[in-house]
Every structure is written in structure tokens, then in C-alpha cells.
């Protein structure tokens, strides 16, 4: 008999990413007795500093911010009941086009094979049954999200496939509801130009292309509280303005596209562990 617990590993780029797209599944599967492992690739040093100070502005101290965000991440993991946190601690690369992209120590500049080798060690240690990360565009083009996808897929090639591999996504119908909610809660959203509008329209997937819809409504409170634990980045976490009830209405189903599978479980599915239990 194999007494190893079924294991979910989520590979994310920054502190707070774990809560946004996967907080519900991490909380749900922890409650169901699965082992949950979070790998956070960067230190988050390009996040906001005290008082909302931005990278490059006077008073922005990446090392101090990284320490603060590590503490917030640990609090989020406690709320979501994550079994194991692993930090790769690469330097945050910032948004695409920022000068920090070019820093030699940044995650974006790290050779894929180097990051993949480190992640492969964690795959061998935890032997995850289910692996979750971003799609090839990092969902919205963030360099560290793209790099997280690259090292994850390369690490899987090194170690052999997990039973199931997923990329986070959002249905296009939900993206439309997000836009409506932002206006509802008073977000100052400028009208995008044609290029921006085209890029926004490409975020997520048509509903019919999404393979996996996981109901995490019962864990909406944990997900909201995990996001709130990242208080230093509250200015950038729009969802907190909604309050827990409205947040759960909008964010109570987490969606994925299944990209590797050895179980033969039929899609669409409503469980990342379908075919494994």
C-alpha cells in the first residue's frame, strides 16, 4: 500500500499570487486531507513599499519589502492551511518593460534550466500528483509568471510527468463580470486604446475551452483573508474592496485548463484530483 498523501503543488511567481487564482483550491484540498505545497519563485521585492511607494521612488527598499512580503506570505499559508512553503527567492523582475527585468539576479534573467533544476528537486522530494502553474503567457504577460511556466514545464520534462498538470485561467465571461465589478466599486479604469483592448480580450479562454471548474465557494472566506494578509500590497489588490460576500460570489469558482493527464478522467471536470481518488 502507498500511504503517501495525494499532493497538490502550485508554482507561483510572487507572494500573494497563491491566493488570487488558487487560494480556493489550496484551502479546499487541504480541508479534504490532501498535502498542499506552494512554491513561490521570487521575493516580491518589486512590490509596493510602506505608504505605497513604488519601485524606483525614494524610500523603496527591495530587501525590506521582500522581508515584509515573506512574513505576509507565511500568514497567507497559515490561513489556507498550506502544508509546505518553498521559496526559490529569485529577485522580483517587475512588470514587463521595467528596468528590473534586466537585473542579472532577476528571475526573468535566470536560465530556465537552472530554475528548472531547482524545481525538479522539489518535484522529486514531494512527488506531486497534481501540479498547477500559469499558461505560457503568464496569464497576462508578466515576465515572472511566464518564467514560472517555463521552469515548471522544463522541470516536469526532467523528472517525468505528474499525473495531472494544469494552467490557471479565467473564462472570458468572468472577465467581463470583473470589469463590471470594478466599475461597480468605483475603480478608475481608463478607456483602453485599441491595442490594449485587443490584449485584454485575449486574457483567459472562451468558456468552452476551460477543462476544469472547481467550486471553492465554501472557502471564499479563507481566500479573502489570505489576500488580506498581503496588506502591504492592498492598493493593488482590487478584490479586497468588494468585501467578503461579493468577493466570494465573483471568485467562488476557480478555473483551469488541463495540459497533461495520465488518468483518463473525462473533461470537463470539477475536481483537480478526478481520476486519482
Task: Give pLDDT tens digits for 13-48.
Answer: 999 999 998 999 999 999 999 999 999 999 999 999
Q: What is the mean pLDDT of residues 65-82?
A: 97
| 211-242 pLDDT, tens digit each | 999 999 999 999 999 999 999 998 777 778 88
**pLDDT recorded at residue 52:** 87
pLDDT value at position 1?
44
Q: Is the pLDDT of residue 264 over 90?
A: yes
What is the distance between the alpha carbons of residues 217 and 128, in angstroms, rounded to a whole number?
Answer: 25
Helices and strands counted in the chain (H then E): 9, 7
Q: Write down the residue that cell numbers 510572487 correspond to.
A: 14
Q: Are the CB atoms for 234 and 224 separated by under 8 Å?
A: no
Signed CA dihedral, 13, 15, 18, 20: sign only: negative
Write down the pTM of the prediction.
0.92
**Averaged pLDDT, 77-101:** 97
Q: What pLDDT was estimated at residue 125? A: 97
How much is the average pLDDT of 49-72? 93
> Contact, 251 vs 25, CB < 8 A?
no
> Is the pLDDT assigned to residue 208 strictly greater than 50?
yes
Contact 24, 16 (CB under 8 A): no
Binned at pLDDT 50, 70 and 90, residue 106 comes out as: very high
Amino acid 240: pLDDT? 84
- Tell me the percentage of the chain whose pLDDT exceeds 70: 89
Cα radius of gyration (the chain): 18
Question: 140 pLDDT band (50/70/90 cuts)?
Answer: confident
What is the average pLDDT across 187-191?
Answer: 56
C-alpha cell at 174: 468572468
Q: Per-residue pLDDT for 98 more than 70?
A: yes
Q: Does residue 187 carry a pLDDT above 80?
A: no
Asked whether the beta carbons of 24 and 254 are under 8 A apart, the reply is yes
Residues forming beta bridges with residue 264, ordered by sequence position: none
The pLDDT of residue 195:
59
b vs e for 102-116, b when ≥16 Cβ sit within 10 Å of the residue's Cβ? ebeebbbbbeeeebb
Question: How far is it, in rounded angstroms, from Cα 182 to Cα 245?
Answer: 15
More confident residue, 258 or 247: 258
Amino acid at each position: 500500500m502507498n500511504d503517501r498523501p495525494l499532493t497538490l503543488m502550485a508554482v507561483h511567481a510572487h507572494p500573494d499570487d497563491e491566493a488570487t487564482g488558487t487560494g480556493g483550491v489550496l484551502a479546499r484540498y487541504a480541508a479534504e486531507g490532501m498535502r498542499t505545497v506552494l512554491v513561490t519563485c521570487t521575493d516580491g521585492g518589486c512590490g509596493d513599499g510602506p505608504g505605497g511607494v513604488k519601485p524606483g521612488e525614494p524610500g523603496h527598499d527591495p530587501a525590506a519589502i521582500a522581508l515584509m512580503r515573506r512574513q505576509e506570505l507565511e500568514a497567507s499559508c497559515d490561513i489556507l492551511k498550506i502544508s509546505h512553503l518553498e521559496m526559490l527567492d529569485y529577485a522580483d523582475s517587475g512588470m514587463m518593460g521595467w528596468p528590473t527585468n534586466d537585473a542579472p539576479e532577476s528571475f526573468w534573467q535566470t536560465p530556465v534550466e537552472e530554475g528548472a533544476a531547482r524545481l525538479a528537486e522539489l518535484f522529486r522530494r514531494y512527488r506531486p500528483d497534481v501540479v498547477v502553474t500559469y499558461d505560457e503567457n503568464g496569464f497576462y504577460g508578466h515576465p515572472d509568471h511566464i518564467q514560472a511556466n517555463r521552469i515548471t514545464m522544463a522541470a516536469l520534462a526532467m523528472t517525468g510527468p505528474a499525473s495531472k498538470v494544469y494552467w490557471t485561467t479565467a473564462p472570458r465571461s468572468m472577465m467581463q463580470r470583473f470589469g463590471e465589478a470594478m466599475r461597480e466599486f468605483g475603480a478608475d479604469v481608463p478607456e483602453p486604446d485599441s491595442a490594449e483592448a485587443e490584449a485584454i480580450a485575449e486574457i483567459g479562454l472562451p468558456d468552452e475551452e476551460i477543462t476544469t471548474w472547481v467550486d471553492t465557494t465554501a472557502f471564499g472566506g479563507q481566500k479573502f483573508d489570505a489576500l488580506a494578509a498581503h496588506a502591504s500590497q492592498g492598493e493593488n489588490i482590487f478584490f479586497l474592496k468588494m468585501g467578503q460576500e461579493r468577493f466570494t460570489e465573483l471568485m467562488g469558482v476557480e478555473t483551469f485548463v488541463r495540459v497533461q493527464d495520465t488518468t483518463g478522467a473525462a473533461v470537463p471536470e470539477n475536481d483537480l484530483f478526478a481520476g486519482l481518488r
